[in-house]
Chain A
Amino acid sequence: MNPETPCNNSGGCGSGSVDPGRRDVLKFLAVGATMATGAACDLEGFFRKSFRELSPADVRRMVTSWERKYSRKYGKAVTVSETGPMAGVKFGYGLDLSRCVGCRRCVYACVEENNQSRKEPQIQWIRVLEMDKAHGIDINHSDVYYDSAEVPRPGKFYMPVQCQQCDDPPCVKTCPVGATWKEKDGIVVVDYDWCIGCRCCMSACPYGARHFNWAEPNLPAQEMNPKTHVLGNRPRPKGVVEKCTFCIQRTREGLYPACVEICPVGARKFGNLLDPESEIRQAMDTKRVFILKEELATHPSFFYFYAT
């Protein structure tokens, strides 16, 4: 409930979201558990329900309390959107490997947009793999630590990888508490207040798309993006998993994801898979696309292609 400061006892943090009977049942258990783990002075959070069990009224109440808390913490007016999926929309992503030059601008635009921890540890949702032209796509022999000041390097090509928003996501299957799920518009999201940090999803993801907050996220107030979404870029607590959400806070408002917008070579395409006129469908109709690790039958909504 109180992601950053579990001891914060400011009122309202979702207290309304708890069924009183349930609270009584759990009271003595919670005290024991708190003493046992020593971690949780976050009793309000302890009694909360998972996000998907909350009523719309509960969600609104929580959103208001988060907005207050974040605004106080970061010293700016932070908004937390709860915009749901649009009817008739399923997001799809296209990446043109023949254009990508490996500049990693997408990586850093993503970090700035989505409020990732900046250092110790630095969390990046996009990994750009450098591979040999002579060998084609050979992920196991790729390099993510190349010097991006000198790209594109001779004989090399680049393949950015982020969450593929699979239709059959192994991460969702493996989560023991149902803290991650696929939304109707195809975005796989995480409930940061329900995740227990067991990291099963990280073992299950074939794309290295899930990232763990090994420490309290290091997000300087002046760099904090105040336009956030409940299931997206709102600040995360220590000890939970996070991932690319196709910039849910932007795309559900009709904007491009930050990585699409920043790409200097136009390698990134994005749109509604259900709309034949969309940019992504145009790319799929006119180019030949492929998906990553198709043998795992994860059925990604993320397509790679070579435009030239």
Chain B
Amino acid sequence: MAISSFLRGSGRIIASGDRAYKIWVGALLTLIAVGLFAYSFQLRHGLIATNMRDQVSWAFYVGNFTFLVGIAAAAVMLVIPAYVYNWGPIKEVAILGELLAISAIIMCLLFVLVDMGRPDRFLHIAPLLGSPNFPISIMAWDALVLNVYLGVNLAVVGHILFTGFHGKDYNKKIVIPLVLFSIPMAVSIHTVTAFLYNGMAARPYWNTAILAPRFIASAFCSGPAVLLVLFQVLRKRTGLPIKDEAIQKVAELMAYTMFLNLFLLGAELFKEYYSATEHLLYTQYFWSGIGPHKALVPYAWGGLLATVIAFFIFLVPKWRRNMLLLNIGCGLIYFGVYIEKGMGLVMPGMTPDTLGEIYEYRPTFVEWGVTAGIYGIGFLVFTFLVKLAVPIMSGHFTAVHADPATPAPDELGAEAH
């Protein structure tokens, strides 16, 4: 009863919206259609539809996966101060971080799925059903922690929304332990993902002890950047009371993590260039190219430039208080981290390959299409979750209002945006 009225009301909220909302959802559905078309092509022909080959056997999909694990992990940056220190201004928006985490994890799992040669055998990695190679295979761990993290966030968000819908306070005995558990979980998903690369002695570029710290640092730059922009959008469109104080607090925290991120990059570059061993090749391929092979060089410097500019915008209090500059900074750091994780990690790690061959990888249209489709799914899930959460959080969508006896569906739709 309670659940079905919640679900029916939720369906109504998602289906209704103003013109801008419908255009946005329509655009995402178009992206998803493109993705499905590209993926069906890839399924028919095999992964040869990508530009991955034996030399560069992981590439765009895995890079996007890695980046999005960071976005998912960064949700804790808001959750920690909100729940542990009970810091009011952030608390009301922390749930949005969890919604972002859910959407990002769904995208992560989809990127893993489309990268698999045999997606039909995905259950082979599931405990009990398959034969996961515990405890030695990091990939087996990664699949486990990602799914547990998704489950925890779904449970917390589902519970908060459900109780909010029925006009009750959420059950602290359930939520607080789960939230506390989700904090080490968030750190662990990104750490385990880093270890996946880190543990491969065959790839000197990844086989560095600061890889996991770098993953965490860069995730705590890009994840909150998404949220800062989102807060402003929601504030404007829904009147959700998000204080400047919360935005500025997050921005200040980001300045620290951005410094840490650049510092760790510098430490890595120093080690590589000063010792200048044979292992320098991979770093060189990314930053200056090897001979005529320079495909990634513009991205490397573009990404670094964006990261440095963003750092200064966030560092200087006067600049980060300027909302326009702040938003530019968010865009720059998002781009910078995307380059670092998406192209700067996976491809140079495999170029040259273990036998010294240089194969310059560039994604095919199919890869772009599938990737666009997955982002479409992720953004659509996020849009629906936010659309649902905002009226519940602001008390406009509750069991009382959603009761069929109260003739309010139109009014509801109007209030939701």
Q: Which residues does A use to contact B, with CB under 8 Å?
A: 6, 25-26, 29-30, 33-34, 37-40, 42, 45-46, 50, 53, 120-121, 127, 129, 139-142, 144, 161, 170, 173-179, 194-200, 202-208, 210-216, 237-241, 296
C-alpha gap A161/B52 in the complex (Å): 22
Q: Closest CB-CB distance, B112 to chain A, in whole Å?
A: 8
Instruction: Provide 12 A-B residue pairs closer than 8 Å at the C-beta atoms, listed in order of the A residue.
Output: A26-B129, A120-B48, A140-B352, A177-B131, A196-B125, A197-B118, A199-B117, A203-B200, A203-B349, A208-B354, A237-B118, A296-B202
Q: Closest CB-CB distance, A298 to chain B, in whole Å?
A: 8
Across-interface contacts of B46 in A (CB, < 8 A) = 213-216, 238-239
Across-interface contacts of A212 in B (CB, < 8 A) = 47, 54, 57, 117
Q: For chain B residues 120-155, which have a beta carbon within 8 Å of chain A?
A: 120-125, 129-133, 136-140, 143
Pair A177/B132 contact, Cβ less than 8 Å = yes
Across-interface contacts of B124 in A (CB, < 8 A) = 50, 177, 179, 194, 196
For A40, the closest partner residue in chain B by CB is: B120
Q: Beyond A6-B120, A194-B121, is A174–B356 a contact (Cβ under 8 Å)?
A: no
Q: Beyond A177-B130, A194-B121, A196-B122, is A208–B137 a contact (Cβ under 8 Å)?
A: no
For B356, the closest partner residue in chain A by CB is: A140
Q: Closest CB-CB distance, B204 to chain A, in whole Å?
A: 10
Besides the known contacts A38-B43, A196-B119, 16 further A-B residue pairs in the complex with CB atoms under 8 A apart: A39-B120, A139-B354, A139-B355, A140-B356, A144-B357, A173-B136, A174-B200, A176-B143, A177-B124, A177-B125, A195-B117, A198-B139, A207-B354, A215-B47, A239-B117, A241-B117
Q: Closest CB-CB distance, B147 to chain A, in whole Å?
A: 13
Task: Judge whether B40 is part of the interface by a CB distance below 8 angstroms.
Answer: yes
Across-interface contacts of A241 in B (CB, < 8 A) = 117
Across-interface contacts of B196 in A (CB, < 8 A) = 200
Pair B350/A203 contact, Cβ less than 8 Å = yes
For B120, the closest partner residue in chain A by CB is: A40
Q: Beyond A173-B137, A177-B133, is A196–B121 a contact (Cβ under 8 Å)?
A: yes
C-alpha gap A170/B201 in the complex (Å): 8
Pair B354/A37 contact, Cβ less than 8 Å = no
C-alpha gap A135/B39 in the complex (Å): 46
Q: Closest CB-CB distance, A157 to chain B, in whole Å?
A: 15
For A47, the closest partner residue in chain B by CB is: B123
Q: Beyond A37-B113, A140-B352, A174-B200, is A121–B53 a contact (Cβ under 8 Å)?
A: yes
0 or 1 for each of B186-199: is its CB under 8 Å from A? (1 = yes): 00000000001101
C-alpha gap A42/B121 in the complex (Å): 10
Contact of A203 among B47, B57, B131 (CB under 8 A): B57
Task: Judge whether B326 is part of the interface by a CB distance below 8 angstroms.
Answer: no
Contact of B131 among A38, A141, A178, A216 (CB under 8 A): A178
Q: Which of A33, A39, A45, A195 has the most CB of B within 10 A?
A: A39
Number of interface residues of B (CB under 8 A): 55
Pair B137/A161 contact, Cβ less than 8 Å = no
Pair A215/B123 contact, Cβ less than 8 Å = no
Across-interface contacts of B48 in A (CB, < 8 A) = 120-121, 214-215
Task: Judge whether B115 is part of the interface by a CB distance below 8 angstroms.
Answer: yes
Pair B356/A139 contact, Cβ less than 8 Å = yes
Across-interface contacts of A53 in B (CB, < 8 A) = 131
Interchain residue pairs A-B with the least CB separation, the first 6 = A197-B117, A40-B120, A239-B117, A206-B202, A176-B139, A214-B48
Across-interface contacts of A30 in B (CB, < 8 A) = 123
Task: Judge whether B252 is part of the interface by a CB distance below 8 angstroms.
Answer: no
Task: Judge whether B387 is part of the interface by a CB distance below 8 angstroms.
Answer: no
Q: Closest CB-CB distance, B66 to chain A, in whole Å?
A: 13
Q: Beyond A176-B137, A212-B57, is A203–B125 a contact (Cβ under 8 Å)?
A: no
Pair A202/B47 contact, Cβ less than 8 Å = no
Across-interface contacts of B355 in A (CB, < 8 A) = 127, 129, 139, 142, 144, 161, 207-208
For B45, the closest partner residue in chain A by CB is: A215
Q: Closest CB-CB distance, B119 to chain A, in whole Å?
A: 4
Q: Closest CB-CB distance, B174 to chain A, in whole Å?
A: 28
Contact of A176 among B113, B129, B132, B354 (CB under 8 A): B132
Task: Judge whether B210 is part of the interface by a CB distance below 8 angstroms.
Answer: no
C-alpha gap A25/B129 in the complex (Å): 9
Task: Judge whether B320 is part of the interface by a CB distance below 8 angstroms.
Answer: no
0 or 1 for each of B266-303: is its CB under 8 Å from A? (1 = yes): 00000000000010010000000000000000000000
Pair A197/B116 contact, Cβ less than 8 Å = yes
C-alpha gap A179/B132 in the complex (Å): 10
Pair A213/B352 contact, Cβ less than 8 Å = no
Task: Judge whether B353 is part of the interface by a CB distance below 8 angstroms.
Answer: yes
Pair B136/A198 contact, Cβ less than 8 Å = no
Across-interface contacts of A194 in B (CB, < 8 A) = 121, 124, 131
Pair B120/A175 contact, Cβ less than 8 Å = no
Pair A176/B133 contact, Cβ less than 8 Å = yes
Q: Closest CB-CB distance, A181 to chain B, in whole Å?
A: 10
Q: Closest CB-CB distance, A108 to chain B, in whole Å?
A: 18
Task: Judge whether B341 is part of the interface by a CB distance below 8 angstroms.
Answer: no
Across-interface contacts of B202 in A (CB, < 8 A) = 170, 203-206, 296
Across-interface contacts of A195 in B (CB, < 8 A) = 117-118, 121
Pair B118/A240 contact, Cβ less than 8 Å = yes
Across-interface contacts of A46 in B (CB, < 8 A) = 120-121, 123
Q: Beyond A198-B116, A208-B353, A240-B117, is A39–B133 a contact (Cβ under 8 Å)?
A: no
Task: Judge whether B382 is part of the interface by a CB distance below 8 angstroms.
Answer: no
Q: Closest CB-CB distance, B139 to chain A, in whole Å?
A: 4
C-alpha gap A179/B202 in the complex (Å): 20
Q: Closest CB-CB distance, A180 to chain B, in whole Å?
A: 9
Pair B131/A39 contact, Cβ less than 8 Å = no
Q: Which of A38, A141, A216, A241 has the most CB of B within 10 A?
A: A38
Pair B57/A199 contact, Cβ less than 8 Å = yes
